[in-house]
Structure 1
């Protein structure tokens, strides 16, 4: 994995072109990135269950799983942080939080930003290489792009629609829900950009889905068909 991170850093500094990257076999793995308010975890869980059920019918003992928070939990254990604190750090929830934290912890105990991101990336990449997994968020599309048997999905929708969803689910006013969506999208983009280096979505995603115009069932059916066409399911 050290070489992979060196590759990322070389990509960021322009020392290597993306076409130079050799894909590893690994997988199969599916990553789902989502704008805030789109139900990525729900879709991921339903898709993993659907694929597992189909494989079971075929007599294939391969259980697919959906992972999201588990990556933070494993990374937090490695870094000796609580999962909640690690999520705050990786999402840049408060600038003042970093400033205050520096007053209480030395570098010996507080891992730097690069170490946090690389630790998360290591565990995520390991899961994708092991295969039979749907990964939600955490720049999965960029971190696992080197794995040949993978495909990458981005769920998006108009801001007003997402704000309505968040308003109902989190009991917020529409204006507060819209602000929440914008803030969360910025935080996620900041994390992804460490690995993507301002490259366009087309470099990473195979499918982009408008969650407003499709039901959960339709989205799962589409991704299931795509997984089958890629040979993840016989």
Structure 2
């Protein structure tokens, strides 16, 4: 069978260049009370049904708590400690010095935050990942081929969702939602050393008004337009992927 050498070389060069590029990555940031897990699992399923990626050929993967778990494993500490140390970290030099004397930590806050950012960047460079939370939207700023999504809804609506989910009163739920929103912003700011910017997102979706299907359709359309995923299913390819 005759081989089109020119076409082969062009495809090989394209593959080589794509492997050197960062991403593609989808980051999902969500206000407390906005469900992301169900949406992301549906999104992963629909993306992988399209077949091999437009830029990278391995299946898309959902990454969230794996960031903290991997960081904790590498540093030899508890995952809960990673989360809490970043949240409690003070940028005040004096407070940080006093905290060091008080707790005698074997691993510094700086080491923890550096490792978390390293893990996120490594996943992002590998590409074909959806990073949910963990400061992924801010850590990946400056990287190419990143689509940043923010899931939002009115505070009262989110409080009702949390009240029903946790079986608590409306007032307690309202206070909890506000508290968790503040903690998430503080966590991201401590991790990156930068002020949270609500305008960094490419898409802000009101989940009170948008159904899962509408949200998925919008995200997929933008990803296709940006060349992050194939625009059409590739025949005979999608069945090779195992969607978990």
TM-score with structure 1 setting the length: 0.77
Q: CA RMSD in A?
A: 2.6
Q: Secondary structure at the match of 1:55?
A: coil
CA distance in 2, matches of 1:199, 1:83: 24
Q: Secondary structure at the match of 2:51?
A: helix
Aligned partner of 1:64 in structure 2 is: 60
**C-alpha deviation, 1:25, in angstroms:** 3.0
For structure 2, the 5+ residue unaligned runs are: 1-19, 90-95, 231-244
Q: Secondary structure at the match of 2:50?
A: helix
**C-alpha deviation, 1:42, in angstroms:** 2.3
Aligned partner of 1:230 in structure 2 is: 226
Aligned partner of 1:206 in structure 2 is: 202
Among 99, 104, 113, which residue is 1:106 paired with? Answer: 104
Q: Secondary structure at the match of 1:201?
A: coil
CA distance in 2, matches of 1:79, 1:171: 37
Q: Residues 54 and 87 from structure 1, CA distance in 2 versus in 1: closer, same or farther, beyond 3 angstroms?
A: same
For structure 1, the 5+ residue unaligned runs are: 1-23
Q: Residues 188 and 199 from structure 1, CA distance in 2 versus in 1: closer, same or farther, beyond 3 angstroms?
A: closer
Q: Residues 168 and 222 from structure 1, CA distance in 2 versus in 1: closer, same or farther, beyond 3 angstroms?
A: same
Aligned pair count reads 201
1:40-189 matched pairs, under 5 angstroms: 40-55=36-51, 62-92=58-88, 105-107=103-105, 109=106, 111-189=107-185
Q: Is 2:207 the counterpart of 1:217? A: no
Residues 155-177 of structure 1: CA deviation (Å, up to 9, x unaligned):
11111100111111222221121
**C-alpha deviation, 1:85, in angstroms:** 2.5
